[in-house]
Chains A and B, each alone.
Chain A
Amino acid sequence: MSSSGKMDNPVELDERTYAALSELLNSIKILQDYLNDQVIQDLAKILCCLLKLVNAISSTDLVDILERGIQDPELDRALLSPPRVGLIGLIRALRNEDVQRGMGILIELLRAIGKASTN
């Protein structure tokens, strides 16, 4: 190790590492040979969709709420035997404060989606 902290001889490769590297490089060559300018354009369209999703989920606290919400033990229990809820059941559920908050989020989400769809 030198005084600057850099390793004097940073890489020592054994036979297995060489073999792994060779395999990796050959695999990259498969990708290289597969690509052409049209494939690139088509891949880009798919990538753009994925990037929109990445931006969407990294840009909202809704994901954090969903992440916690879907781990709720009461939901886990309900999923073991999903209850059948009719109109009366729905009205009864709406008296629950958590359901009301969830409805509030859904209504606001609907409003925002509607707004976004017009511009």
Chain B
Amino acid sequence: MSAKKVLILGAGACGSIVANKLARELRREIAKGEIEITLLDRDEISVNQAGFTFVPYGLYTKEDIMKPRRKFISPRVKSFFGSDGEVERVDLPNRRVITKSGRTYSYDYLLIATGCRGVAEEIKGLSRDFNTFYTSLEDTLKLKKLIEEFKGGKIVILTVSMPIPCPGAPSKFTILLDEYLRYVKGEEIRKKTEITFLWPIKLIGPPAYNSLVEKVFEEKEIQTRREFSLSEIDEGRKEVVSADGERIKYDLLVTVPPHKSAQSLINSGITDEKGWVPADKYTLQYAKSPTERYDEVYVAGDTGPAEILKTGVGAHYQGLIVGQNLINDLLGIGAKVPYRGETGCPFVGSMYTTYKRGMAYLASWTYDRPLKPFAPTELGWFIYRIYYYIYWDSTVKALM
């Protein structure tokens, strides 16, 4: 009897959680050769992308948010990185995946968790003045230097369009920026600085989250423009140009670029009209249309459809749920654990400095249970801070 094959595309938070959960709970079946778990990823290094928001303010370092994957993926999982792990084509009807090296992997069950990527090049002028904490550690460290050297002027934080991963991060970054300029650089620098937050839709998160951001922004004199529709960046004149021709000057532009799923998935013809991989929002099984469904294919994390919020908390829950459903499928247990939209977004009210204690809160909600009004706490800050240190040994290993 040949082994049942589970193929996992992407070793980010979600893919790693599923791989490690299966490796732990199906260890006897793996040892007997009845089940085989394979994990593919382009990179050997894993990144906790959520940590980028804090790096410019010195709250986390490279060592805190980047680790070699081999240290955190169970040896029971067959892992392939580099060109053997970089997905080139996904062939759902024939249940196979081809990688950049030309290697073909067949599967009985597939998880697509390849995340998403920023596409700054799609906005005219943006690539020529692109400062961000959304793409890579290199970009984030470049931005850190710009902020450290900032002497005053106009800072614009621009989010081009939705959906983006971690939609709470731009407002969190902005609150931290104000705190950093006010309490670390010194009040004088903050007085000489004008911060403008450009946001593409009406609300910044769920209504309760939005209300609190609005209040804090007001207290901090951060100017907010909602439903801002971007046309281009005029990097020569250092201006953000809106769709209706309005020009907003900046000295430092920080941009959250538009995001898309992996180009190889788009090229494989498995994405929807918006460029995301379609899935049922409760089962997370691939569903492009009522007739084009693949129950053996799961989709989770940032690559999923636009209607499923792209957050680290969401990826965590989705990983645990997909992992359990794969176990149920593989062992023939006729049960399904539903994804009820468990998601969340930590809110930061203030940064821990010599002047004040940090304040934060983990706001969470589901499809049918909206976020209630909340207030950040001191313990919330410490819980948030400790979480990114233990993320690797807890979340990535599917322990909690």
Judging by beta carbons under 8 Å apart, are A54 and B399 in contact? yes
A55 at the interface (CB under 8 A from B): yes
Whole-angstrom distance between the Cβ of B157 and the nearest chain A Cβ: 25
Partner-contacting stretch, out of A1-9, A34-42, A85-93, A98-106: A34-42
A41 to B397, CA, bound (A): 20
A116 and B389 alpha carbons, distance in the complex (Å): 23
Q: A59, B386: Cβ atoms under 8 Å? A: no
A28, A47, A51, A119: which contacts B397 (Cβ < 8 A)? Answer: A51
- B24, A48: Cβ atoms closer than 8 Å: no
A104 to chain B, nearest CB (A): 15
Interface of A, secondary structure class, is helix
Asked if B294 is an interface residue, CB under 8 A from chain A, the answer is: no
Bound complex: CA of A59 vs CA of B21, how far in Å? 9
The A-B contact count (CB < 8 A) is: 55
* Cβ–Cβ < 8 Å partners of A41 in chain B: 385, 389
- Report the Cα distance A43→B352, complex, angstroms: 17
Docked Cα-Cα span, A59 to B75, in Å, equals 11
Residues A55 and B385 in contact, CB atoms below 8 Å apart = no
Is A60 close to B, CB under 8 A? yes
Q: How far is the CB of A75 from chain B (nearest CB, A)?
A: 26
Most A CB contacts (10 A, CB to CB) among B358, B386, B392 go to B386
Are B27 and A35 in touch, CB under 8 angstroms?
no
B344-361 at interface with A (beta carbon < 8 Å): 352, 358
B28 on the interface (CB 8 Å rule)? yes
B130 close to A (CB within 8 Å): no
Minimum distance in angstroms from B346 CB to a CB of chain A: 15
Q: Is B135 engaged at the interface, CB distance under 8 Å to the other chain?
A: no
Q: Are B379 and A51 in contact (CB under 8 A)?
A: no
Q: Please, which residues of chain B bring their CB within 8 A of the CB of A51?
A: 390, 393-394, 397, 399
Q: Whole-angstrom distance from the CB of B176 to the nearest CB of chain A? A: 14
CB distance from A93 to the nearest CB of B (A): 28
> A112 CA to B280 CA in the complex, in Å?
41
Chain B contacts with A in 339-380, Cβ cutoff 8 A:
352, 358, 378-379
State whether A61 touches B399 (Cβ < 8 A): no
Contact partner, A32, options B23, B352, B379, Cβ 8 Å: B379
Max chain B C-beta neighbours (<10 A), residue from A31, A35, A47: A35
What is the CA–CA distance of A43 and B27 in the complex, to the nearest angstrom? 31
Interface residues on A, range: 20 to 34
Is B382 in the interface zone, CB < 8 Å from A?
yes
Which residues from chain A contact B23 at a C-beta distance below 8 Å? Answer: 59
B70 interface residue (CB < 8 Å to A): yes
Please tell me if the beta carbons of A60 and B27 are within 8 angstroms of each other in the complex: yes
Output the least CB separation between B366 and chain A (Å). Answer: 17
Most chain-A CB neighbours within 10 Å: which of B28, B358, B393, B397?
Answer: B393
- Cβ–Cβ contact B392 & A55, under 8 A: no
In the complex the two chains form, what is the Cα distance from A47 to B386 in whole Å? 9
- The residues of A that contact B378 with a CB separation of less than 8 Å are 32, 35
Q: Are A44's CB and B399's CB within 8 A? A: no
In contact, A35 and B397 (Cβ under 8 angstroms)? no
Kindly provide the distance from the CB of A119 to the nearest chain B CB, expressed in whole angstroms.
7
Whether A52 lies near B393 (C-beta < 8 A) is yes
Shortest distance between the CB of A32 and any CB in chain B (Å): 5
* Contact, CB under 8 Å: A44 / B386: yes
- A28 — nearest CB in chain B belongs to which residue? B379
Q: Which residues of A contact B59 (CB under 8 A)?
A: 37
In the complex, chain A residues whose CB is within 8 Å of the CB of B75: 116
Q: Is the Cβ of A61 less than 8 Å from the Cβ of B28?
A: yes
- Closest B residue, CB atoms, query A48: B393
* A22, CB-defined interface residue at 8 Å: no
Point out the residue from B358, B379, B385, B389 that lies within 8 Å of A48, measured CB to CB. Answer: B389
The answer to whether A58 touches B24, judged by C-beta atoms less than 8 angstroms apart, is yes
Given A37-B352, A51-B399, decide whether A61 and B27 contact each other with a Cβ distance below 8 A: yes
A35–B382 Cα gap in the complex (Å)? 8
Instruction: Verify if B74 is at the interface (C-beta below 8 Å from A).
Output: yes
The smallest beta-carbon distance between B321 and chain A, in angstroms, is: 19
In the complex, what residues of B have CB within 8 A of residue A59's CB? 23-24, 27, 74
Residues from chain B with Cβ under 8 Å of A119 in the complex = 70
Q: How close is A73's CB to chain B, nearest CB, in angstroms?
A: 27
Inter-chain contacts of B393 with A (CB < 8 A): 47-48, 51-52, 55
Between A and B, 9 residue pairs with Cβ closer than 8 Å are A28-B379, A37-B352, A41-B389, A44-B389, A47-B389, A55-B24, A60-B27, A116-B75, A119-B70
Q: Which 4 A-B pairs have the closest CB atoms?
A: A44-B389, A51-B393, A48-B393, A59-B24
Q: Give 16 new A-B contacts, CB below 8 A, not counting A41-B389, A51-B394.
A: A32-B382, A37-B358, A37-B382, A37-B385, A40-B382, A40-B385, A43-B386, A44-B390, A47-B393, A48-B389, A54-B399, A55-B24, A59-B24, A59-B74, A60-B27, A119-B70
